[in-house]
Chains A and B, each alone.
Chain A
Amino acid sequence: MSDQTQQGGASQKSGTISAPPRPPVERPGQADAPAGTDQTHTIVVLAYDRHGALDRIIGVLRRRRAKLQGFAIGRNEFQGMARITIVMNDSEVAVEQLVEQLRKIVDVQHVEKLTSEQTVARELALIKVNSNDSQYSTEIIELAHQFGAHVVDVTQQTLTLEVTGSEEKVEKFVDSLKSFGIREVARTGRVAMIRGVE
Chain B
Amino acid sequence: MYVAATITQKPEGATTYQAHRSTETIEARELSGSQILCEALMREGVELIYGYPGGAIMPFYDALTSYPVLHHVLVRHEQAAAHAADGYARATGKVGVCVATSGPGATNLVTGLATAYMDSTPIVAITGQVARPFIGRDAFQETDILGVTQPITKHNFLVQRVEDLADIVHEAFKLARGGRPGPVVIDVPKDVQILKTQYRDSVSISSIERFRATRAPHPSAEAIARATELIKGAQRPLIMSGHGVILANAYAELHAFAEKTNIPVITTLLGLSAFPETHPLALGMPGMHGPAHVNRAIGEADLIIGVGLRFDDRVTGKASEFAPHARFIHIDIDPSEMHKVKRATVPIVSDAKEGLARLIEAVEEGDNSTWINEVRRWEAENSERSESIQRNQEYPDPTSILEAIRAETKDEAIIVTDVGQHQMWTARHYTWTRPNSHITSGGLGTMGFALPAAMGVKMGIPDATVWVVAGDGGIQMNIQELATLKQEGITVKVAIMNNGYLGMVRQWQHFFHNGNYSETPITGPDYIKLADAYGLTGMRVTKREDVEAAVLKAMNTEGTVLIDFVIESEANVYPMVAPGSAITNMIEESPNHE
A residues adjacent to B (C-beta < 8 A): 28-32, 48, 51-52, 55-56, 59, 63, 93, 96-97, 100-101, 103-106, 109
Contacts and interface: CB of A to CB of B under 8 A. Distances in A.
A31 B343 contact: yes
A106 B175 contact: yes
Contact of A96 (B316, B320, B339): B339
Given A32-B320, A106-B175, A59 B150 contact: yes
Contacts of B320: 32
A51 B213 CA distance: 17
Nearest to B318: A28
Which of A29, A96, A101, A103 has most chain B Cβ within 10 Å?
A: A29
Interface stretch (B67-75, B151-159, B237-245, B494-502): B151-159
A93 B336 CA distance: 11
B158 A51 contact: yes
Given A29-B313, A56-B150, A63-B151, A97 B210 contact: no
A56 B146 CA distance: 10
Contacts of B313: 28-29
Interface in B368-424: none
B212 interface: yes
Given A48-B210, A106-B155, A31 B340 contact: yes
20 contacts: A28-B319, A29-B313, A29-B316, A29-B319, A30-B340, A31-B339, A31-B340, A32-B320, A32-B343, A48-B210, A51-B158, A52-B158, A55-B147, A56-B150, A93-B343, A97-B336, A100-B335, A100-B336, A106-B211, A106-B213
A96 B344 CA distance: 13
A92 to B, nearest CB: 10
Given A29-B319, A106-B213, A97 B339 contact: yes
Given A32-B320, A59-B151, A100 B338 contact: yes
A59 B340 CA distance: 18
Nearest to B159: A51
A29 B155 contact: no
A77 to B, nearest CB: 18
Contacts, number: 54
Interface string B317-356: 0011000000000000011101111110000000000000
A63 B153 CA distance: 13
B160 interface: yes
B118 to A, nearest CB: 13
Given A100-B336, A106-B175, A31 B341 contact: yes
Nearest to B154: A106
A190 B338 CA distance: 29
Given A48-B210, A106-B155, A109-B212, A55 B150 contact: yes
A63 B151 CA distance: 8
B336 A104 contact: yes
Contacts of A52: 146, 150, 156, 158
B340 A97 contact: yes
Interface of B: 146-147, 150-151, 154-156, 158, 160, 175, 210-213, 313, 316, 319-320, 334-336, 338-343
Interface SS, A side: mixed
Contacts of A28: 313, 319
B34 to A, nearest CB: 21
Contacts of B150: 52, 55-56, 59
A51 B175 contact: no
A29 B336 contact: no
A48 B209 CA distance: 14
Nearest to A56: B150
Contacts of A30: 340
A81 B341 CA distance: 33
A29 B147 contact: no
Nearest to A109: B212
Contacts of A29: 313, 316, 319, 340-341
Contacts of A51: 146, 158, 160
B107 to A, nearest CB: 18
Contacts of A101: 336
B339 A93 contact: yes
B176 to A, nearest CB: 11
Contacts of B151: 59, 63
B335 A103 contact: yes
Nearest to A52: B146
Contacts of B343: 31-32, 93
Contacts of B212: 109
A28 B319 CA distance: 8
A104 B213 contact: yes
B183 to A, nearest CB: 13
Contacts of B339: 31, 93, 96-97
A104 B151 CA distance: 12
B414 to A, nearest CB: 31
A101 B339 CA distance: 12
Contacts of A93: 339, 343
Nearest to B180: A104
Contacts of B213: 103-106
B349 to A, nearest CB: 10
Nearest to A30: B340
Contacts of A103: 213, 335-336
A29 B146 CA distance: 29
Contacts of B319: 28-29
The 4 residue pairs across chains A and B that have the minimum distance between CB atoms: A100-B336, A106-B155, A31-B339, A101-B336
Nearest to B349: A100
B156 to A, nearest CB: 7
Contacts of A31: 339-343
Contacts of B154: 106
A48 B212 CA distance: 12
Contacts of A109: 212
A52 B213 CA distance: 17
